[in-house]
């Protein structure tokens, strides 16, 4: 039995729950034809005005590439007119607000009734953007430190004050116009060797500044550059936070503590390849999310961005609609599902989504589960 709700606006536990995948799964699991991507994550530029020491894409971003504006405009027009995903994230790669015409791209998606989100370091957002920002489904702003010198050591920038000024700027505008906004203003903080000892102080500062929630993300070392927290640093952080209370509706810190400050859950010894990986990767198979990279390549899961052999096509050569569902796409799905079945997948949101499906499919008929319906997967 399933009970669905959409009201997750400031309850982070609902926003992050993997059960939000279930309505999408139930909607598509019996459909034979290829469906459009449910959500799209756009990493259209490698350019960034920060040089963060923990950047997951530092190696890739050295190229400074970005999708040409005419290709971006064509892509956005296709999404708005025919493909119609439920949600679109404008994210990194680099910093999305460095792209020419980014405001128009977001506005077109909003006008097309697509739920639109912006993931940004916030440093280039000004009062002239207030109306646009108040129309977003949500905005996630990176914050780094409560100490200017540490902020500079992490980012190489001098935009310290912006990280705590933006919530008030967005919400103050909404309060002083006739337009009602439900924009969720969230914060994200990557924990690294410079700021991890400030974690509890950053949490309190973010909520005092007016953020609806704050997500902490231990640096993930996709490029094997040694940027993740060491075991000693994690041990010290655990000790510091041991007796602190954090609202689970406002932050993921309680869950992070419970799994040793790994962003993804610890391996469950009860999960075997036979039980957990016996089926397909539902996220990949059913068209959960498309990731469009700054070089124009399209990927089906975030950890594979940059693995050319897992790209399904290039929007610089073909339109998105001619790539999605083609033979190459089907072949990549097959290969990625084999990787899933062989237990090779990690650091991916789809792992939790697939576990949620397995749990739901084995749920007794008389047992109810409450899940969240979300446009961003």
Average pLDDT estimate for 116-141: 95
- The partner residues of 371 in beta bridges, in order of sequence, read 4
Judged against a pLDDT cut of 50, whether residue 201 lies above it is answered with: yes
- pLDDT band of residue 274 (cuts 50, 70, 90) is very low
Residue 1: what pLDDT? 46
The DSSP secondary structure of 185-219, one letter per residue, reads EEEEEEE-TTTGGGHHHHHHHHHHHT-SEEEEEEP
Alpha-carbon span 192 to 177, nearest angstrom: 39
User: Using CA atoms in the order 138, 99, 288, 319, what is the torsion angle rounded to 10 degrees?
Assistant: 140
Alpha-carbon span 282 to 287, nearest angstrom: 8
Domains of the chain by start residue, with CATH: 37-272+287-326 (3.20.20.70)
- pLDDT band of residue 51 (cuts 50, 70, 90) is confident
With 0-12 / 13-18 / 19 or more C-beta atoms within 10 angstroms meaning exposed / middle / buried, residue 74 is middle
Lowest average pLDDT, out of 305-314, 323-332, 351-360, goes to: 351-360
Judged against a pLDDT cut of 60, whether residue 6 lies above it is answered with: no
**In contact, 288 and 274? CB cutoff 8 Å:** no
Question: Regarding predicted confidence, which is higher, 188 or 51?
Answer: 188
In angstroms, the first-to-last Cα distance of the chain is: 22
- The partner residues of 186 in beta bridges, in order of sequence, read 140, 213
Q: What are 164-189's pLDDT values in tens digits?
A: 999 999 887 766 665 656 799 999 99
- pLDDT band of residue 58 (cuts 50, 70, 90) is low
**In contact, 377 and 45? CB cutoff 8 Å:** no
Q: Which residues contact 83 (CB under 8 A, 6 or more apart)?
A: 36, 37, 320, 321, 324
- pLDDT band of residue 270 (cuts 50, 70, 90) is very low
Alpha-carbon span 143 to 216, nearest angstrom: 10
Residue 57: what pLDDT? 62
Residue 4: what pLDDT? 46
pTM summary value: 0.89
Neighbours of 166 (CB within 10 A): 24
Phi, psi for 330 (deg, rounded to 5)? -65, -40
Judged against a pLDDT cut of 90, whether residue 62 lies above it is answered with: no
Note the helical H segments in the chain.
12-16, 21-28, 58-61, 69-78, 102-111, 130-133, 148-155, 162-175, 199-209, 231-241, 253-258, 273-276, 282-285, 320-323, 327-341, 349-361
Sign for the pseudo-dihedral over CA of 172, 175, 177, 182: positive
**In contact, 292 and 305? CB cutoff 8 Å:** no
Q: Which residues contact 169 (CB under 8 A, 6 or more apart)?
A: 125, 127, 130
Residue 254: what pLDDT? 92
User: Using CA atoms in the order 171, 176, 177, 183, what is the torsion angle rounded to 10 degrees?
Assistant: 10
Closest CA to 42 of 262, 296, 337, 360: 296
The DSSP secondary structure of 20-68, one letter per residue, reads GHHHHHHHHTT--S----SEEEE--B---S---TT-TTHHHHTT--B--
């Amino acid at each position: 039995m399933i009970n669905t709700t959409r009201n997750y606006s400031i309850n982070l536990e609902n926003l992050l729950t993997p059960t939000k995948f279930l309505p999408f799964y139930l909607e598509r699991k019996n459909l034979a034809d290829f469906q459009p991507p449910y959500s799209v994550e756009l990493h259209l530029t490698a350019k960034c005005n920060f040089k963060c020491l923990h950047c997951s894409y530092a190696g890739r971003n050295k190229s400074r590439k970005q999708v040409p504006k005419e290709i971006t405009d064509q892509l956005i027009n296709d999404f708005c007119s025919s493909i119609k995903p439920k949600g679109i994230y404008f994210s990194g790669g680099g910093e999305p607000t460095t792209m020419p015409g980014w405001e128009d791209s977001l506005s077109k998606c909003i006008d097309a009734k697509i739920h639109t989100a912006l993931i940004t370091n916030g440093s280039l957002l000004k009062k002239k953007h207030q109306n646009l920002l108040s129309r977003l489904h949500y905005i996630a702003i990176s914050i780094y430190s409560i100490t200017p010198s540490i902020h500079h050591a992490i980012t190489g920038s001098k935009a310290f004050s912006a990280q705590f000024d933006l919530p008030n700027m967005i919400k103050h505008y909404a309060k002083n116009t006739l337009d009602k906004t439900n924009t969720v203003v969230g914060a994200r903080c990557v924990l690294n060797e410079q700021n991890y000892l400030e974690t509890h102080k950053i949490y309190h500062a973010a909520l005092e500044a007016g953020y609806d929630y704050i997500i902490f993300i231990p640096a993930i070392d996709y490029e094997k550059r040694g940027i993740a927290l060491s075991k000693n640093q994690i041990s010290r952080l655990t000790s510091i936070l041991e007796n602190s209370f954090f609202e689970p509706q406002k932050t993921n810190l309680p869950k992070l503590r419970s799994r040793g400050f790994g962003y993804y859950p610890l391996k469950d010894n009860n999960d075997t390849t036979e039980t957990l990986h016996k089926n397909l990767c539902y996220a990949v198979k059913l068209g959960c999310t498309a990731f469009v990279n700054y070089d124009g390549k399209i990927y089906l899961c975030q950890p594979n961005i940059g693995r050319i052999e897992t790209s399904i096509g290039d929007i610089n050569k073909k339109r998105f609609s001619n790539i999605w569902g083609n033979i190459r796409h089907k072949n990549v799905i097959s290969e990625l599902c084999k990787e899933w079945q062989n237990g090779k997948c990690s650091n991916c949101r789809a792992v939790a989504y697939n576990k949620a499906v397995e749990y739901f499919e084995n749920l007794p008929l008389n047992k109810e589960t409450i899940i969240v319906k979300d446009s961003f997967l």
